[in-house]
Homo-oligomer: A and B are copies of this chain.
Amino acid sequence: MLWFLLVLVTLLLGLVAVAYAWEIYKKMLAFEVGEKRVRELSEIIHKGAMAFLKKEYTWLACFVGGVTILFLYRGVGSAYAFLLGAGCSAGAGWLSMYVATQANGRTAFAATKDAGAALEMAFSGGSVVGMLVVGIGMIGIAASYLFVDESALAAFGMGASSIALFARVGGGIYTKAADVGADLVGKVEAGIPEDDPRNPAVIADNVGDNVGDVAGMSADLFESYVNSIIAAIAIGVVSTDLYADGRTLGRWGVAFPLLLAGWGVISSVSGCLLINPKALASVPLLGTWISWIFGRVEKLPFAKRVMERIRGGDAAFALRMGLFAAGAKMIGGTFVLSMFFFITRGFHVFLAVTSGVLVGILIGFATELFTSSDYRPVKDVASASDTGPATVILSGLSLGMKSTIVPVVLICLSTLASYSLAGVFGVACAAVGMLSITGIALSVDAYGPIADNAGGIAEMSQLPPEVRKITDKLDSIGNTTAAMGKGLAIGSAALTALALFVAYAQAARLKAIDIMDPKVVVGLLLGGVLPFLFCALSIEAVGRAAQAMIEEVRRQFREIAGIMEGTGEPEYEKCVAISTTAALREMILPGVLALLSPIVIGLLLGKAALGGLLGGTIVTGVVLALFMANSGGAWDNAKKYIEEGNFGGKGTPNHAAAVVGDTVGDPFKDTAGPSLNILIKLMTVVALVIAPLFA
């Protein structure tokens, strides 16, 4: 009975998220784009992106089919869950991109009117993406839980993770190959502006932004989201941490993380509504209910001022407040849920989850401190441009390395706190808490690439320069708030991986994973080296693909008559084809490495060594991911800071030096870094799936 209710409630909350997304989407579609050129370009990008996904999914379908057959040996349930996980992940990526590529042209056109309209359109697109991802996640988990038990849920997670890894790596390679190719030949060699329609790689570049930043990121966060819930369920169902008499939590341990995530959906929706108050009317039932709450809250003097400022059009403030409101509501709801579920230990569980939410937000602040040009570190990187590219690289690298200490200490504090409060279940719930507001965090994240793309479209369709200014402003606000999203992603990746790791050890019936055992040490060392190898492979892949792109763009500039005068049409589709082929070919090796290494080490050296492998990968994976993301972000913003006119501005040797940093940072922050987040979870979830072999 509890089980049925649970599935129902999860399904329902998932549907709420999807319904909200649908309403916003309908409203977004109703906005007509009055410029033919904008409509056309948007259509080209939309089609290019969908064509890539179609090809990618055809390849992945073979992979998923093969693995599903392997799963059949373990039982129909696991095979079903894996297939569902892979399908949901692919579906979330597909729909996200479908929507985002419709929102970009609309945002560009809205920006011809005013900044407020553009923000609304970009954020509408973002929140459709965000809500779809969590909605599909909740529905998918409910649908698999309907037919399989808790242990087979891991197969759902593995499906989601493997698709996410391929999508992230493939998307990352696609976008960076196009980006580097377009920049190096177009901007540097030919001296034409960014997003100039004469550049043959410009379409590939804009398609890439969607493929990498939207589809890749959606699949990534989808994977984080569902795996944090799955880890908490796997641990919750057998956890004896909370009852003094040694009982397991059983179904209550399943219900709590699911409802936590469910409350996160509600919190996210209400946060989105705060940012985009006009959308309120479009969500009839839910809208009235939330309006009622808002009605009460808005009467408070503090809230009144907040609302005024948001309605006054302060976009940065609005996004931040939306996130905070969602976080605050999440914490409030957690209190009620925890006290209801665990009564005497309720307050402990509440604090454990809250530590997760707080640490996620604090990591976001730390990320901002290290990567925003408002603060000292990035200014230092920019000032290193005085002595040329080498010092820019060195200062960016050391900034990234140094920046890892704060998030790692925060993650450690959250781990220690939540563990001492509520055992491993506490750690797992902290991760769920952190990710519960994925709905709004992803909305704010996905809003960025939409605004960025809108800027590209504005440039290519030669809209007035004020339009570009508006989209640039929106984009730069997005960059800052996206730091928060990145904080949640990396923090939760670490906590989720730790929880999955413990779940693996329990499932494999390991009493201890002793690093004094040489096999475990060997596993630890091999696990530690894997993220480095993985990064090397993806950076090299970007390099090779960019090289091919550079040669193609140079060839077109050389061979197509009148291309520079705007009379000859560039062969955009050739560049798209290069990015596509490269992405598909190059994503295989890193993906296979991640999938096979736990299996090979487990079979060769045994389950304890596999535990060591996971430990090693989590440690270097987390640190390396932070390093690469922050170095990359800092270089990017140092370049932008110089472009704003500091240290000489555009066209100076300082700027050239900063561009070198930015180019090095591109595969760091958009290909290798974010893939590592998925890598560590994919490897642990693969171990969890194969654990019964060793038990």
Interface of A with B (CB < 8 Å)? Answer: 184, 384, 387-391, 393-395, 397-402, 404-405, 408-409, 411-412, 415-416, 419, 424, 427, 494, 498, 501-502, 505, 510, 512-516, 518-522, 524-529, 532-533, 535-537, 539-540, 542-543, 546-547, 550, 611-612, 615-616, 618-620, 622-623, 627, 659-660, 663-664, 667
Kindly name the residue among A184, A494, A502, A620 whose own CB sees the greatest number of chain B CB atoms within 10 A: A620
* B664 contacts A394, C-beta separation under 8 Å: yes
- Inter-chain contacts of A384 with B (CB < 8 A): 543
Q: Nearest Cβ distance between residue A45 and chain B, in whole angstroms?
A: 26
Q: Nearest Cβ distance between residue A173 and chain B, in whole angstroms?
A: 13
Tell me the complex Cα distance, A623–B624, Å.
12
Tell me the complex Cα distance, A149–B616, Å.
36
Q: Nearest Cβ distance between residue A519 and chain B, in whole angstroms?
A: 7
Tell me the complex Cα distance, A467–B655, Å.
42
30 intermolecular pairs with C-beta atoms under 8 Å apart: A184-B388, A387-B550, A389-B390, A391-B543, A391-B546, A391-B663, A393-B393, A393-B660, A393-B664, A394-B539, A398-B543, A399-B536, A412-B526, A505-B516, A510-B516, A512-B512, A512-B514, A512-B516, A513-B514, A513-B515, A514-B514, A514-B515, A515-B611, A515-B612, A521-B615, A524-B615, A524-B619, A525-B623, A528-B619, A619-B619
- Inter-chain contacts of A501 with B (CB < 8 A): 516
* A660 contacts B390, C-beta separation under 8 Å: yes
Q: Identify 5 new A-B residue pairs, CB closer than 8 A, beyond the known A395-B540, A524-B619.
A: A184-B388, A398-B536, A400-B536, A411-B525, A513-B515
Tell me the complex Cα distance, A404–B419, Å.
34
- Inter-chain contacts of A405 with B (CB < 8 A): 529, 532-533
Q: Nearest Cβ distance between residue A495 and chain B, in whole angstroms?
A: 11
- Inter-chain contacts of A513 with B (CB < 8 A): 514-516
A415's partner among B412, B427, B518, B542 (CB-CB below 8 A) is: B518
Tell me the complex Cα distance, A424–B542, Å.
43
Q: Nearest Cβ distance between residue A179 and chain B, in whole angstroms?
A: 12
A427's partner among B184, B419, B518, B623 (CB-CB below 8 A) is: B518
Q: In the complex where A405-B533, A513-B515, A550-B387 touch, is A522 in contact with B664 (Cβ < 8 A)?
A: no
* B514 contacts A416, C-beta separation under 8 Å: no
- Inter-chain contacts of A415 with B (CB < 8 A): 518, 521-522, 525
Q: Nearest Cβ distance between residue A222 and chain B, in whole angstroms?
A: 26
Q: Nearest Cβ distance between residue A381 and chain B, in whole angstroms?
A: 11
Q: In the complex where A394-B543, A514-B513, A543-B395 touch, is A416 in contact with B619 (Cβ < 8 A)?
A: no
- Inter-chain contacts of A532 with B (CB < 8 A): 401-402, 404-405, 623, 627
* A387 contacts B619, C-beta separation under 8 Å: no
- Inter-chain contacts of A519 with B (CB < 8 A): 416
- Inter-chain contacts of A498 with B (CB < 8 A): 521
Tell me the complex Cα distance, A622–B524, Å.
12
Q: In the complex where A412-B526, A524-B619, A526-B409 touch, is A516 in contact with B543 (Cβ < 8 A)?
A: no
Tell me the complex Cα distance, A619–B528, Å.
6
Which B residue's beta carbon lies closest to that of A419? B518
A404's partner among B502, B514, B533, B659 (CB-CB below 8 A) is: B533
- Inter-chain contacts of A622 with B (CB < 8 A): 525, 528
Q: Nearest Cβ distance between residue A403 and chain B, in whole angstroms?
A: 8
* A416 contacts B518, C-beta separation under 8 Å: yes
A533's partner among B402, B427, B494, B522 (CB-CB below 8 A) is: B402
* A623 contacts B518, C-beta separation under 8 Å: no
- Inter-chain contacts of A659 with B (CB < 8 A): 390
Q: In the complex where A524-B619, A611-B515, A623-B532 touch, is A537 in contact with B390 (Cβ < 8 A)?
A: no
- Inter-chain contacts of A427 with B (CB < 8 A): 518
Tell me the complex Cα distance, A412–B604, Å.
13
* B528 contacts A390, C-beta separation under 8 Å: no
- Inter-chain contacts of A409 with B (CB < 8 A): 526
Tell me the complex Cα distance, A514–B510, Å.
11
Q: Nearest Cβ distance between residue A605 and chain B, in whole angstroms?
A: 8
- Inter-chain contacts of A502 with B (CB < 8 A): 516
Which B residue's beta carbon lies closest to that of A506? B516
Q: Nearest Cβ distance between residue A631 and chain B, in whole angstroms?
A: 10
Tell me the complex Cα distance, A539–B384, Å.
13
Q: In the complex where A660-B389, A667-B394 touch, is A412 in contact with B535 (Cβ < 8 A)?
A: no
Shortest 9 CB-CB contacts between residues of A and residues of B: A390-B663, A401-B536, A528-B619, A402-B536, A512-B514, A419-B518, A398-B539, A398-B536, A401-B532
- Inter-chain contacts of A416 with B (CB < 8 A): 518-519, 522
* A522 contacts B660, C-beta separation under 8 Å: no
Kindly name the residue among A390, A400, A659 whose own CB sees the greatest number of chain B CB atoms within 10 A: A390
- Inter-chain contacts of A400 with B (CB < 8 A): 536
Tell me the complex Cα distance, A387–B543, Å.
10
Kindly name the residue among A393, A419, A525 whose own CB sees the greatest number of chain B CB atoms within 10 A: A525
Which B residue's beta carbon lies closest to that of A505? B516
Tell me the complex Cα distance, A518–B513, Å.
12
Tell me the complex Cα distance, A618–B526, Å.
12
* B525 contacts A619, C-beta separation under 8 Å: yes
Tell me the complex Cα distance, A400–B529, Å.
12
A398's partner among B535, B618, B620 (CB-CB below 8 A) is: B535
* B526 contacts A408, C-beta separation under 8 Å: yes
* B543 contacts A412, C-beta separation under 8 Å: no
Kindly name the residue among A184, A389, A498, A627 whose own CB sees the greatest number of chain B CB atoms within 10 A: A389
Tell me the complex Cα distance, A58–B397, Å.
33
Tell me the complex Cα distance, A398–B668, Å.
11
Q: In the complex where A525-B619, A623-B529 touch, is A387 in contact with B515 (Cβ < 8 A)?
A: no
Kindly name the residue among A494, A516, A542 whose own CB sees the greatest number of chain B CB atoms within 10 A: A516
Tell me the complex Cα distance, A590–B152, Å.
48
* B398 contacts A528, C-beta separation under 8 Å: no
